[in-house]
Amino acid sequence: MASTFSCSQHSAPILAVFVVAYMTLGQASELRLLPAAASSRLASRTSGSSNMGAENSKPSSEVKQHVFSTDHPVRFSNELVDSLQKNTFTDATRSKAQELQYQERLTAELEKLREQGSQDFSKFSETLSGEEQPQDSEPSFTEKLADATSSSSTLAEKQKQKDMSRTSVTKEIEQLRAKLEQRKKLEQVDADLNKAKDDVVTCLRMHDRRPLDCWKEVETFKREVGRLEKEFVERTIR
């Protein structure tokens, strides 16, 4: 018992030394492992950041498209909308309206020509009517002597010639006056032409979207214009 106790007394310091040495070695090994772990973590972080920089520096092969959209709808002014709604003219109606304008202009030109012809005839008629008929001048002595020596048949023939010349002049004047009266009647526009024109305008307004439905009215208007032109040419040639 004494030996055992003594041995235990001698071994206690030795165990204490071993324990202290073991703890010292453990702390040293932990101190060695800490820098290695920190360096590995730093290396991993560095490699990750380099990879991210490489990915950002790579050129993108995809072309990005930007589409801009507005939250507010496109709106037009009320004046523009009203003008578009009120405008009932189409290409067909415009062409028909131009054709009517051409016909009206032609009719106006024909009326001007008629008025000019009437004025010319009136001036000529006034000139003829204003001239006094030449009175029989007093015969000279030679004519009186010839009449005295002439027979009754010769005197009757001379008087007949004078009457014929006077009658022919009067007849010509009457003919000119009759022509002038006929020309004055042309100053009024034909009623059938006005009616045909009004029918065309009314039909185009009613069938704005279908102007071809007014072909009958247009043909009637053309026929009336052609009739007036023909009558004007015939009266001018006379």
Instruction: Report pLDDT digits (tens) over 73-95.
Output: 777 788 877 777 776 666 777 77
pLDDT band at 18 (very low <50, low <70, confident <90, very high): low
Q: Mutual orientation of helices 91-130 and 215-237 as an angle, nearest 10°?
A: 20
Q: Is pLDDT above 60 for 187?
A: no
pLDDT band at 14 (very low <50, low <70, confident <90, very high): low
Distances (CA, A) of 48 to 42, 45, 53, 59, 177: 10, 5, 9, 19, 121
What is the reported pLDDT for 186?
A: 54
Residue matched to tokens 């950041």: 49
Q: Which of 173, 187, 34 is nearest to 117 (CA)?
A: 187
Q: Which of 56, 168, 166, 186 is nearest to 113 (CA)?
A: 186
**CA dist., res. 200 & res. 195, Å (int):** 9
The pLDDT tens digits for 121-159 are 777 777 766 654 444 455 555 665 565 555 566 666 666
Q: Is pLDDT above 80 for 220?
A: yes
**CA dist., res. 43 & res. 124, Å (int):** 126
Q: Can you tell me the mean pLDDT for 38-49?
A: 53
Q: Can you tell me the mean pLDDT for 47-68?
A: 56
- Residue 197 CB coordination number (10 Å): 20
Nearest 10 degrees: CA dihedral of 226, 231, 235, 238?
A: 90
**CA dist., res. 193 & res. 107, Å (int):** 10
> How large is the greatest C-alpha to C-alpha distance in the chain, in angstroms?
227
**CA dist., res. 104 & res. 221, Å (int):** 11
